[in-house]
Amino acid sequence: MVIGSYGVSADSISIKGEMECKVKDQIILKTEDGISTRYQGFAEDIKIGDTLILSYRFTNQPSVATASGLSIMNFNLNKETVSNSIIYGTFYEDEFLKIEDNVLGFRQRHLDDMRIHPSERITFSADMMHIQDVGGVNKLNLRRYYKNDWEGFFTINTMDKFSNHAATLNCRQETDVIEEIINKINELHFSKVVDE
């Protein structure tokens, strides 16, 4: 399900997309006292067959500080019935990167000194997404495999349980607003709209 909506006032812009992702398989590896253990899941946690929701939203509000307004891009992956985020990120316009005409990146300022290539950060394109949390510990990778069908996986490293959780996903979106977001960001911040 995707919702494409335009803002509250004539000058505000809000474009929101959403994907429903089914957990197809997963494995959790845990180590304790030098012994490795495999699990299919933890109690009260994500299970095979669960639905996760990936939402992404671009907003632009009028601002006296800049002619292009204040722009924000949000990403959020969470369970359908739970508000706790698995992976989330909020990026402001000075964190937007243009990798190619139709591929955007979002940088996390604290990684700048580490000389990490933009493609290894957060990337957003019509056929691929790589999203990670601020610490780079939890990651989501998706690629389009047919029209509005996406596949991918997420990985979560948890220090409190000293484990690594990996799951494969099959995702669907009813309406595709990704290119609309890319074009609007290009228009406002990079002065170039890609061909649709």
What pLDDT, in 10s, does the model give residues 102-144? 888 777 665 555 566 555 568 889 999 998 876 667 889 999 9
CB neighbours of residue 50 within 10 Å? 17
Share above pLDDT 90 across residues of the chain, in percent, rounded to a whole number: 35
What pLDDT, in 10s, does the model give residues 135-171? 667 889 999 999 999 999 999 887 767 888 899 999 9
DSSP summary character for residue 160: T
Rounded CA separation 161/62 (Å) = 44
Domains of the chain, CATH where assigned: 13-190 (2.40.160)
What pLDDT, in 10s, does the model give residues 40-70? 877 778 889 999 999 999 999 877 666 667 8
User: What pLDDT was estimated at residue 115?
Assistant: 61
